[in-house]
Every structure is written in structure tokens, then in C-alpha cells.
Amino acid sequence: MTLLIQYMLIFASVLLLVALGGCFSEHSGVINIGLEGIMVFGALGGALVMKYLPENASAATVIFLSIMAAMLVGMLYSLLLAVAAINLKADQTLVGTAMNLLGTAAATVFVKAMNTAENPDNVSSTIQYISAKKAFIVDIGGFEFNWFMLLALILLVISWVLLYKTKFGLRLQACGEHPQAADSVGINVYSMRYAGVLISGLLGGVGGLVYITAGVSEWKFENGVAGFGFLALAVMIFGQWKPIRIAMAALLFGLFRSLSNVYTGFDFLARLNIPSSVYNMLPYIISLVVLALTSSKSHAPKAEGIPYDKGSR
Amino acid sequence: MAAKKRTPILRIPAVQTLLASLVCILLGLVVGYIALLLINPAGAWEAITDIVKNFWTYSNSRAQMKYLGNTLVKAAPLLMCSLSVLFAYKVGLFNIGAAGQYVAGAGAGLYCALALGLPWWVCMIAAALAGALLGCLSGMLKAYRNVNEVISGIMLNWIALYTINSLLNVVKDTASPYTVVLSKTNPSAVIPSMGLGALFTNNKYVTIAIPLAIIIAVAIWVLLEKTKLGYELKATGLNRNAARYCGMREKYNTILTMGIAGALAGLGAAMFFLSGFEEWSVTQSSVPAMGFNGIAAAFLGGLNPIGAIFSSFFIQHITNGGAYVDMKMYSSQISDFISSVIIYLCGFVLFFKYCLNRWLNHRDEAALRKEGDK
């Protein structure tokens, strides 16, 4: 049971972080389908720090530096979306899709090149971080508390305050609802949208780092992040673009995702003898059902996906 | 009276599209080359030429034809996937679910061939139906429940993958994770070659699937450009409210479009797996890239079915070419990298055309002013 809660919380943290990222981007008016690619890059940044930090680095250093790296790399990668969607008015779905493909391909090429440079026989796309990963975990009586759970909670509170209680957040939302109106009162729509996309890059990057450290201590970058970016988008839609609801949704999805890791530990589930592929499918099926039930009255930001053009009315 | 003025060649939309695609390809290759230089400058030029050359790296013309055949065998399903994506896009739907529809088609086709022992054409129909079913599901969710087709498509991709993996588990080879070999288990399910293979140095995987894919591309062009149905579908894509106001059944059109798109992707999978070129691995944990590459091919082809024929061949050409790079220095994923950069750049095609037209306008204005000065 503790194992289930542990997995549920860590997967929920991933989904929460990435969905909050999507939430900021969409509130500013840019659809971010490329979260999956951003996650891969954030994960890569964090994994590189964990791999190259000396063995004797303190836990706090490992945690701080890997999170910083993941945030920074995620933000840099999200610039690809920002430039394309905001300045060049490209099709946001297409650019996001390209970013997802590019994320996995570029990370694979990079890691393979790095591995072969170290050892010519090593052509894998795997990075190991066994010792560094221990820094994130505190064992509390069998329950492996992960600092990322706390981080997700803190970032949730910050996001909520930022979106609803600050001038910045309200302006950001105005740009996603009615950019022309926002512009008319002197808000710079372009820079607000940049801020939204960059925050989504920051949160998505950390989300990627959390994902690759959840339960495993090496990551094969050829696999990307297995559709987690999209699950996070489903969480965001189910959460109606509101941070607190997103957190609830993330917990629910985290529960279903963790079942596939731990179902063999439950007697009654193991006795049902359901093939493991059903558990693997479960989060995706649930999200489809949930979306079908909740999307008909959607509270999506009204101007999302539409490039802002100063000249148009 | 002056003779009717001809449109300058650069102003013809088709020329602009072609030009934009070529710029995308060129820039994609340049970025790929820079990446290779960064990894290892010593073999970068050789690697990028290997990728672009693909089968021409063989000096012997018989070997060249044989490996050209291999590229074509994979280009046919890619063309089908890109048709699936572009058909939906013309109706305002982004069919990222082509990958899952492709998986469904592969599963249905192989199951009918290996477990039920049906002939090839029945298997192909089954594959198309399976893809269509998945597509219709996305379409219905969009039409009746307002679920974004991109999200539902992605979810269905993963659901299809896990379902097909367990479905094909019954026809798995005992010693490997792959399904049993098609030509040994059920030769009647292999798509006939009708002598085409002989043209490609007896490449037995070259089948009538390749000309069939091209015929379907032309048929899709006719459907979109020359029929009432195509007109209605495109109108629905442009403005669904206006379409409804004109008495078009916009919900039905959405579902029909996704169904057709799904059938195309499913059929593409059958064209590939029923050639016997590869078996399905029931342990694969990621959705095959074919559907996603279809997005690249569709946009690179300027969202035109005829353009897609060439762009699909090109994308498959460089993907196969990736296998020829020196594995001691580089990885074959460099081709995936290049094609994803190309898709990214395809997002700027509109911007590119806008710049081109503005430049042309400036030039014309300058010319007019000069004439005025005289």
C-alpha cells in the first residue's frame, strides 16, 4: 500500500508540474503540444548534471543543480515554440509535434554521441545516475519520500498565487482570453506570451527530470517520455486550466498510472489475472473517458492557438 | 492593347510551395550537417553525403536497384500515412492519431493473415477497417464530445499499441518477440508482386502495394479537388458553423473525414507488413514512427497529395540513408533528427511565402516607380 501511495505521489508530481506548465502557456494564448519534447530535454539536462557531478557532492548540491539544469534546458528548448508561435505565427500544433519528434531524436543523437566518445563500444542511448539519484530520496519507515513531491507542492502554491493574486498572472490570462483588449490597455501581448511559454518550459523541464528519476536510476533516451506530456495535457484539460483542480486530476491520473507498477503486490488485483497491458493502457483509457465527459463545456482560454497580430481586429 | 500579362513564375502558388519545401530540406540538411560536425568533424561530410545518397552508395547498379526497392517498400506506407494526415488537415483536423491507426491496421492485417489464414486482399480490407474504426472514434469524440482530436489521437495511439501487442501475441514466434514469418505461414497473404520485383533485381518485397499507393494519392487529390464531397469536407474545415448554416452535416463530415484518414493509415500498415519485409515485435514499447513521419511528409509535400508522393519518398530516402553512416562515430537517429528539423521548419512555410510575396511586391513597386520617373 505504501508502495502504491509512493508511486502515485511521484507520478502525480510529474503530471502536476507538466500540466501546470501547459496551463501557463495556454493562459497566455499559446497551445503547447510540445511539452513531451520539453520534458525530454529537461530530463537530459538534469541527467547530465547527475552524471557529471562528483560522487562526493552533497545531496543538496545534487538536488539544486540538477533542478536548475532541467529548468534552464527546458526553458531554452521552449524558445523554439515561442519564436515560432509568437514571432513567426506558425501553426502551433505542427510546431509542437515537431518539437516532440525533435526532442527524442536530438536527445538520442546527443547521448549516443556522448556515450561513444567515452567508450567506442557503447552505442546505447542510456544515461546512468545510480548514486546521484539517492540524493532525492528520504526513507521514512519504508515510504520513500522524494523531494520532488515537496517541490511539486511548492510550485503548485506559487503557480496559484502567480496566476490569481498578482498583476502578472491576471495580465497573462488577459492575453489568452482577449489579446486585443489586453493590448489596448498597454499590456505587451508578445512579451506576456513569451513569459507563458518560458514558464511552461521551466515546469515541463523539471517534470521531465522527475519522471526519469521516478523508480528507475537510468534512462534510455530513445524511449522519450512515453506520452507523459500528452497525459499531462489531458490532466490540464480535466483540471479546467485551474491549478487546484489540475492537482486533483494529477492525483487521480497518478493513481491509475502507478497501478501498472504495483498491481502484482495486491492480492485481489493479482488474482483477477488481468494482463499487464491492460494496466499499461489504463491511464490513457481513463483520460479519454474523462475528456469525453468533461470537454463539452470547456473553459479553455478563448484566444489559445491563434497567433496574435497587432493589425487584425 | 497590351498582351495579357503572364504571372511571374515566383508568384505561382505551386512554385512558392515547392520553393518553400526545398528551402526546408536544405536548411534541415544544413542543421543535420552542423550536428554531425559538432559530434565528430572528421567524418561529417561523408556521413551527410551517405544520408543523401542512400542506395547510390553502392557502385553496382543491380545493388542500387535492389536497395531503391527497399526504400520504395517503406515509402509506400509512409505515403499512405502522409495522405491520412493531409486529408484530415484539409478538413481542419490534425490527425496525429495516424500512428495509432497504422498500428491498428498492422494488427488487424497480420491477425487476419497469420491467425485466420485469409488471402491478402481480405487482410488489406480488414486493416483499412481497423484504421477507420480508430479514426471514427477520434472523429466521434470530436464531433459529439468536443474532445480535441490531437489529445484523443495520442491516447488512442497508446491504447492501440498495447491492444495490438496482446492481440498479436497469439501468432508470436516461440523463440523471438516477433510474429511468425508471413511467407512461410500463409503465402496467400503476401501481396502479389506481379513481376514488379524483377525490375528491382528480384527484390521480393516490391509488390503492387507501391503503384497502389500512388493511385490512391491521385484518387485523394481527385476527391479533394474535383468532387462535391471534397468541397463539402474542405468547407467544413474552413468554418464549421458556416458549413452547418449551408446545410452540410458538419458532425457527419468530421467523423467521415477521420474514418477515411484512419482507413488510409491502416491500409498503409497492411502494404508494409503484408509485403513480408518486417515482422511485428509484440514487445515494442513505443508507437512506430511511421505515422509521425507521415506528418513530416504531408507538410513537406505542401499538403498536396501529389506533392506527398515525392516528399514521402524523400523522407524515407534519408531515413534509409541514415543506416549508411559510420556507426563508430554517429547514430542512425541522425536522420530522424534531420526529418524532425524539417517538420519544424515546415511550420514557417506561411511566413516564408509572406516574406517572398512582400519582397516581390517591393520589387514590382520599385520597377513601377522607375517607369514613372522616365
Asked if A91 lies within 8 A of B347 by C-beta distance, the reply is yes
Mean pLDDT (chain A) is: 87
Nearest by CB: B347 against A94, A105, A234:
A94
Contact predicate B254/B91, CB 8 Å = yes
In Å, how far is B258's CA from the nearest CA of chain A? 17
Q: What's the 3-state SS for chain A? A: CHHHHHHHHHHHHHHHHHHHHHHHHHHHCCCCCCHHHHHHHHHHHHHHHHHHCCCCCCHHHHHHHHHHHHHHHHHHHHHHHHHHHHHCCCCHHHHHHHHHHHHHHHHHHHHHHHHHHHCCCCCCCEEECHHHHHHHEEEECCEEEEHHHHHHHHHHHHHHHHHHHCHHHHHHHHHHHCHHHHHHCCCCHHHHHHHHHHHHHHHHHHHHHHHHHCCCCEEEHHHCCCCHHHHHHHHHHHCCCCHHHHHHHHHHHHHHHHHHHHHHHCHHHHHHCCCHHHHHHHHHHHHHHHHHHHHHHCCCCCCCCCCCCCCCC
Mean pLDDT (chain B) is: 87
Asked if A284 lies within 8 A of B295 by C-beta distance, the reply is no
Instruction: Assign B317 to helix, strand or coil.
Output: helix
- In-domain check, residue B337: no
pLDDT range class, residue B1, cuts 50, 70, 90: very low
Helix or strand run (H / E) with residue A126:
strand A126-128
- In-domain check, residue B102: yes
Residue B363 pLDDT greater than 90, yes or no? no
Contact predicate B70/B128, CB 8 Å = no
In Å, how far is A7's CA from the nearest CA of chain B? 20
A234 touches chain B (CB under 8 A): yes
In Å, how far is B255's CA from the nearest CA of chain A? 15
Helix or strand run (H / E) with residue A145:
strand A143-146
ipTM greater than cut 0.90:
no
Q: Domain limits of chain A?
A: 2-297
pLDDT tens, position by position, A56-114: 778 888 889 999 999 999 999 999 999 998 888 888 888 998 899 899 999 998 998 88
Higher pLDDT: B352 or B95? It is B95
- How many CB atoms sit inside 10 A of residue B6's CB? 8
Contact predicate A53/A65, CB 8 Å = yes
Nearest to B294 by CA among B88, B20, B19: B88
Asked if B145 lies within 8 A of A292 by C-beta distance, the reply is yes
Helix or strand run (H / E) with residue A128:
strand A126-128
- In-domain check, residue B149: yes
Average pLDDT (A32-50) is: 92
Average pLDDT (A176-181) is: 90
Taking the C-alpha atoms of residue B45 and residue B152, their distance in angstroms, rounded to an integer, is 42
Asked if A89 lies within 8 A of B351 by C-beta distance, the reply is yes
Higher pLDDT: A25 or B241? It is A25
Looking at residue A85, the DSSP 8-state letter turns out to be: I
Give the CATH number for residue B102.
Answer: 1.10.3470
What is the pLDDT at residue B3? 54
What is the pLDDT at residue B60? 78
A98 touches chain B (CB under 8 A): yes
Average pLDDT (B291-301) is: 87
Please enumerate in sequence order all residues whose Cβ is within 8 A of that of A252, keeping only pairs 6 or more positions apart, or say none.
Answer: A286
- In-domain check, residue B215: yes
pLDDT tens, position by position, B310-322: 999 998 988 888 8
Average pLDDT (B176-184) is: 85
The residue whose grid cell reads 510540445 is A34
CB pairs under 8 A between A and B: 143
Nearest CA in chain A to B296: A98
Nearest by CB: A102 against B147, B162, B341:
B341
A15 touches chain B (CB under 8 A): no
Helix or strand run (H / E) with residue B242:
helix B240-245
Instruction: Match domain A2-297 to its CATH number in 3.40.50, 1.10.3470, 1.20.1070, 1.10.10.
Output: 1.10.3470
Give chain B's domain count.
1
For an interface test with A, give the residue of B168, B333, B343, B350 to mutate (most A CBs within 10 A): B333
pLDDT tens, position by position, A237-283: 888 889 999 999 999 889 888 887 777 777 777 777 777 788 888 88
CA angle A41, A69, A57 (to 5 degrees): 130
Most confident option among B30-34, B129-133, B150-154: B129-133
Domain hosting B148: range is 73-324
Residue B2 pLDDT greater than 60, yes or no? no
Taking the C-alpha atoms of residue B355 and residue A255, their distance in angstroms, rounded to an integer, is 50
> What percent of chain B shows pLDDT beyond 90?
33
Nearest by CB: B331 against A108, A285, A296:
A108
β partners of residue A127: A219
Nearest by CB: B151 against A112, A226, A234:
A234
Taking the C-alpha atoms of residue A45 and residue A202, their distance in angstroms, rounded to an integer, is 12
Looking at residue A298, the DSSP 8-state letter turns out to be: -
A292 touches chain B (CB under 8 A): yes
Query: What are the chain B neighbours of A305 within 8 Å (beta carbons)?
Result: none
pLDDT range class, residue A21, cuts 50, 70, 90: very high
Three cell numbers at A265?
503486490
Query: What are the chain A neighbours of B163 within 8 Å (beta carbons)?
Result: 277, 281
User: Exposed (0-12), middle (13-18) or buried (19+): which is B223, by Cβ within 10 Å?
Assistant: middle
Cα–Cα distance list, A183 to A7, A198, A309, B126 (Å):
44, 20, 11, 54
In Å, how far is B341's CA from the nearest CA of chain A? 7
What is the pLDDT at residue B119? 92
Query: What are the chain B neighbours of A105 within 8 Å (beta carbons)?
Result: 333, 336-337, 339-340
Instruction: Assign A127 to helix, strand or coil.
Output: strand
Average pLDDT (B79-102) is: 93
The two most distant CA atoms of chain A are separated, in Å, by 64
Taking the C-alpha atoms of residue A307 and residue B84, their distance in angstroms, rounded to an integer, is 26
Higher pLDDT: B226 or B57? It is B226
Asked if A95 lies within 8 A of B344 by C-beta distance, the reply is yes
Nearest CA in chain A to B155: A284
Average pLDDT (B59-77) is: 85
What is the pLDDT at residue A313? 55
- In-domain check, residue B340: no
A299 touches chain B (CB under 8 A): no
What is the pLDDT at residue B261? 96
